[in-house]
Structure 1
Amino acid sequence: MADLPASHRLRIGRLSEPNRVCLITTNTHERIRPFSDFHLGRLVVWQFRLAQYQGLVNSLAWVIMPDHFHWIFELKKGSLADLMCQVKSKSTRTVNGASGRNGRLWQESFHDRALRKEDDLIKMARYVVANPLRAGLVERIGDYPLWDAIWL
């Protein structure tokens, strides 16, 4: 890590703290739209659930859009970078295998935002799960199949 800029090292350390609540957004490579297929989107959901089952996160809310996802979780153990590497690599293998495609599925990077406990997490979760509505994919949030939040 000695070759990373100091601001980058601080950001990694801050977000990798146990019990830190994070909002992650990541896009597909070249904004391809594989998750227009509900079944392929469910393969990403499986990776979110696997990370929770393994005790890495406590998932709070998520939405899988046709070409990206938003995920709010509390990091329980491990690093954010390792978690995202695991989710992206495993979902790439399963999505590519199920769809007969090959190559990259995700952009290399992801956008992260640390959320304070006192932030209105329910408000942020509502914003996240309302993405399909704002994108014009559905007329009601409940009509979109690839989202969840613990508060509902």
Structure 2
Amino acid sequence: MASPRLRYGRCSRTGNVYSLTTTTHGREPFFSDAGNVAVLVDALRFVERSGISHSLAWVVMPDHLHWLMELQKGTLAQCMALLKSRSSRQLNRISGRKGPLWQHGYHDHAVRTDESLHDKAMYILGNPVRAGLAGGLGDYPHAWCRWPL
């Protein structure tokens, strides 16, 4: 379970860019299955179509998600609650499973104006390479970025 201390100092501002990480319950590798990844990607796109976020990059790892996004409206908590609840409901429904999909909480980092969004996106896309799941940037099938590699 994530520490409640993760919420201390959390500030949500529309128009700010955030790097977010959230982990599956018990670090279960739910997203080793491409069908489950598709459900999560659909949930990411749903949050964006709802006008809450504007995605810049994401990578779905077997047991967690890294997401670089601009908050368009609401709060980070509302954004993450919508993403987690939608993906959980869909995955539980199609797989016949019950129970939580995600751990409570999430890690967030407000990207400073002097940080390069492109560099932050490339760092996120490098996660599968560093984890040994891909040989190089662009080789991992469950990643997306608005900038070309």
> Fold conserved (TM > 0.5)?
yes
- Are 1:40 and 1:98, in contact at CA under 8 Å, matched by a contact in 2? no
Q: Give distance in 2, aligned partners of 1:101 and 1:61.
A: 29
Which letter maps to 1:91?
S
Q: How does 1:1-152 map to 2 (within 5 A)?
A: 8=8, 11-12=9-10, 14=11, 16-152=12-148
Q: CA deviation at 1:143?
A: 2.6
Q: CA deviation at 1:51?
A: 1.2
- Are 1:57 and 1:77, in contact at CA under 8 Å, matched by a contact in 2? yes
- Are 1:88 and 1:106, in contact at CA under 8 Å, matched by a contact in 2? yes
- Listed as ranges, the gaps of 5+ residues in structure 2 are none
Aligned residues, how many? 144
| Larger radius of gyration between Structure 1 and Structure 2 | 1
Q: Give distance in 1, aligned partners of 2:19 and 2:56.
A: 10
RMSD over equivalenced CA pairs, Å: 1.7
Larger fraction in helix: 1
Q: Which runs of 4+ in 1 moved over 4 A?
A: none
TM-score under structure 2 length normalisation:
0.90
Identity across matched positions, percent: 42
- Listed as ranges, the gaps of 5+ residues in structure 1 are none
- Are 1:23 and 1:71, in contact at CA under 8 Å, matched by a contact in 2? yes
Q: CA deviation at 1:98?
A: 2.1
Which letter maps to 1:27?
T
